[in-house]
Amino acid sequence: MYLITYVDRVNIATAASEIRRDLGLSNTRLGLALSAFGYPYLLFQIFGGWIGDRVGPRRTLFLCGVIWAAATMLTGLAGGLLTLFLVRVLLGVGEGATFPVATRAMQTWTPPGRRGFAQGITHAFARFGNMITPPIVAWLIALLTWRGSFVMLGCFSLMWVVGWFWYYRDNPAEHRGITRAELDQLPNRGVLVRQEMPNVPWGPIAYRMIPVMIVYFCYGWTLWLYLNWLPSFFFNAYRMDIMKSALYSSTVFSAGVVGDMMGGIASDRILRRTANVRRARLLVVVGGFLGSFLTLLPIVLTHDLRISVVCLSIAFFFAELVIGPMWAIPMDIAPKYSGTAAGIMNSGSALAAILSPLVFGYVADVTGDWHLPFIGSLALLLLGAALAFTMHPEQPLHASDLELQPS
């Protein structure tokens, strides 16, 4: 799911030059269309996570998948800025709840000592989606036009929807393929405790998760800059054709696959050695932010293609180290409400999904310099490293923190 959702949300980045030419859009207007995904994506982070906590991941993600698959196919029918904006809004509705609800699904299926790895490997597949999307979409555009490429990718999404609903179970103990040894490692031994669900303790969860959300916004700014504009950056800054820009973008995104995996593994390894949750999460998060800042800095100082590719790749690797530990933090802080907590955290990235493409497109139009917008990323990477120390994953919510009122 992580792979497919990212294919469907970043395919527009590879097709952007064709779409802009076909629909007669400026970079600023295209940036507006790109930002449309972020509005419902922001709205449905918390609401979608809450729904996942209430009705379960199986039904919630089935509905989400139907919506985002339909939106992907409808993108191929866009006839102008308005319709392009609306189908991107629909895509944001479908994908808005996916990661918070997936975190809720992992909460039941993952031992506490493997949460960083679970989040790392799933997000690594998201970055693998980033990596394979540019060449696949460029090939599909050559074969079917940009419109046909969206229809084809939407059909693949529907295949996942059917597979998910058939295979997944909210309660691990109800799955025919699981063993007793595996169940013994899971929370509640794989038995979903069926009890009256208390109201979500919004105040305590928000108080604990808002610092995490702000840190994740700092990460998300750079992420969405890469996702929305990287192929266009190579296409315009270095005068490449669409296939070459896609291949260079794929090279950069491949570094993120490794970063996601290593970040989750490193965080879990530190946790096993030290039994210190805060150290396990913050060491990797702060190191990732600082490493990304230092390696992205040359982008604004040189226009050499080889240096740009190397620096963008290494910077993306360090930025993606952040993912595994960050997505483990909602499960650390609010295990029973991990969908809601993850939704609050990912609202930071969703807000960045709105602002980052708008700012990049506007700066590129006004200045004509495709390197200049990276300055914003540099500032926020430093800010994220500093604010990471305001997060406290070592302090889970206890009964005394919660307002336990039956729903």
Model confidence pLDDT, tens digit, residues 328-371: 899 899 888 887 888 899 889 889 988 888 888 888 888 888 88
Output Rg (C-alpha) for the chain, integer angstroms.
21
Q: With a threshold of 0.85, does the pTM exceed it? A: no
200-218, pLDDT tens digit by residue?
788 889 899 999 999 999 9
Residue 193 has pLDDT above 60, yes or no: no
pLDDT at position 405, please? 41
Q: Is residue 196 part of a domain?
A: no
pLDDT at position 221, please? 93
Q: What secondary structure does DSSP assign to 264-293, as a single string?
A: HHHHHHHHHHH--HHHHHHHHHHHHHHHHH
**pLDDT top residue among 235 and 292:** 292
Write the burial class of residue 184 (CB in 10 Å: 0-12 exposed, 13-18 middle, 19+ buried). exposed
Q: Is residue 181 part of a domain?
A: no
Q: Is residue 160 part of a domain?
A: yes
Share of the chain above pLDDT 70, in %: 95
Q: Is residue 165 part of a domain?
A: yes
Q: Is residue 345 part of a domain?
A: yes
Q: In Å, what is the CA distance from 348 to each residue of 196, 231, 333, 341?
A: 31, 24, 17, 12
For residue 378, name the pLDDT band (cuts at 50, 70, 90): very high
Distance CA 11, CA 210 (A): 31
How crowded is residue 300: how many other Cβ atoms within 10 Å of its Cβ?
Answer: 16
Closest CA to 6 of 249, 278, 306: 249
**Number of compact structural domains in the chain:** 1
Q: Is residue 405 part of a domain?
A: no
Residue 195 has pLDDT above 50, yes or no: no
* Bridge partners for 377 per DSSP: none
The pLDDT mean for the chain works out to: 87
Q: Is residue 407 part of a domain?
A: no
Collect all residues with Cβ–Cβ distance below 8 Å to 278 and sequence separation of at least 6: 391, 392, 393, 394
Total residues found in the chain within this entry? 407
289-322, pLDDT tens digit by residue?
999 999 999 988 888 888 999 999 999 999 999 9
Please state which of the ranges 45-49, 229-233, 332-336, 358-362 shows the lowest mean pLDDT.
Answer: 45-49
Residue 406 has pLDDT above 70, yes or no: no
For residue 192, name the pLDDT band (cuts at 50, 70, 90): low
The mean per-residue pLDDT over the stretch 98-118 comes to 83
Q: Is residue 312 part of a domain?
A: yes
**pLDDT top residue among 97 and 283:** 283
Residue 46 has pLDDT above 70, yes or no: yes
Question: What are 198's two structure tokens?
Answer: 């208390």
Domain of residue 240, CATH code? 1.20.1250.20
Domain that holds residue 17: 2-171+202-395
The mean per-residue pLDDT over the stretch 74-82 comes to 92
pLDDT at position 63, please? 94
Cβ(109)–Cβ(129) below 8 Å = no
CA 350 to chain centre: 9
Cβ(345)–Cβ(301) below 8 Å = no
